[in-house]
Amino acid sequence: MTARLEDMVGTPWRKPPFVRSAALRWTLIVGTIAYLIAAFATIEVDWGRVYIGLERGWQFILGFANPDFTSRGKDIWEGLLESIVMTVAASVVGIAISIPIALGAARNIAPLPVYLVCRAIIAVSRALQEIIVAILLVAIFGFGPLAGFLTLSFATIGFLSKLLAEDIESMDRVQAEAIKASGASWMQWINYGVQPQVMPRLIGLSMYRIDINFRESAILGLVGAGGIGATLNTAFDRYEYNTAAAILLLIIGIVMALEYLSGIIRARVQ
């Protein structure tokens, strides 16, 4: 060891490789390059369609330079209003359902059977992507905002319950135990020992979820679940790129406003 240290004295330090074995390292590099070459070789490229797509893409970019808010203004505002109503209603219902599920999914305050049931609900909600749930609900309830409202409420439960449960599990136990030691009931313990610690996090997550729900409402409209997405899809089908550009600019503006409002509210509650 001493001789090795003496040999190393005076030599510049070099960061050790992520994979120490040179043979394994080169095998991984060559294998990755071979995989990428094979993957690109299997892609069938229709250069005629690429040319047409580039031309349409350029027309769409030009549409952003001259967005049309008036030709289909009535449809745009009706779609936006439907998205906003759907977003607010789904967020309120989803958050209201998420809170008891989050309490049940926190292992430090819930008994094991309740914990397992609530965790199963969260797992099912998170396993199904929103667009798949929307397709199923459109098939059941038909086209319209009802399917979008149910989809966003379902997605909110999985998102908010999981993060809120993790926040409850990592809270300060001393404060909660002090409330319990004073002889408080279970509801008083939750209200005075748990709720003050997680409320800022709950408000922040709720604002973030409202932001997500509005953006998702634009996507769900593409499969017939109501909202501004249906108007956007119609504009694309009719090659009305100026109208599509106007819709996308409005969506970007509303999302930026929600982000700004969310930042103000989070700053005030923390």
pLDDT at 198 over 90: no
Could you tell me the two tokens for 81? 């209003």
| Record: fold of 75-269 | MetI-like fold (1.10.3720)
- C-alpha span between 200 and 238 (Å, rounded): 46
Angstrom CA distances, 162 to 82, 165, 184, 186, 189, stand at 28, 5, 27, 22, 21
CA distance 80 to 72: 12
The angle subtended at Cα 68 by Cα 67 and Cα 70, nearest 5°, is: 150
Higher pLDDT, 265 or 246: 246
Q: How far apart are CA 25 and CA 47, in angstroms?
A: 37
* SS3 per-residue string spanning 161-186: HHHHHHHHHCCCHHHHHHHHHCCCCH
pLDDT above 70 covers a percentage of the chain that reads 96
Q: What is the pLDDT of the chain when averaged over all its residues?
A: 85
Average pLDDT in the 3-26 region? Answer: 75
Which pLDDT band holds residue 143 (cuts at 50, 70, 90)?
Answer: confident
Most confidently modeled range among 25-29, 70-74, 174-178: 25-29
Q: Calculate mean pLDDT across residues 80-108.
A: 90
How many other CB atoms are there within 10 angstroms of residue 66's CB atom? 10
Phi, psi of 10 (to 5 degrees): 90, -10
pLDDT at position 3 is 59
Q: How far is CA 180 from CA 12, 127, 173, 199, 230, in A?
A: 59, 36, 10, 19, 52
Reported confidence tier of residue 256, pLDDT bands at 50, 70, 90 = confident
Per residue in 159-178, pLDDT tens? Answer: 999 999 998 888 877 877 78
Q: CB–CB of 152/220 below 8 Å?
A: yes
Q: What is the pLDDT of residue 101?
A: 92
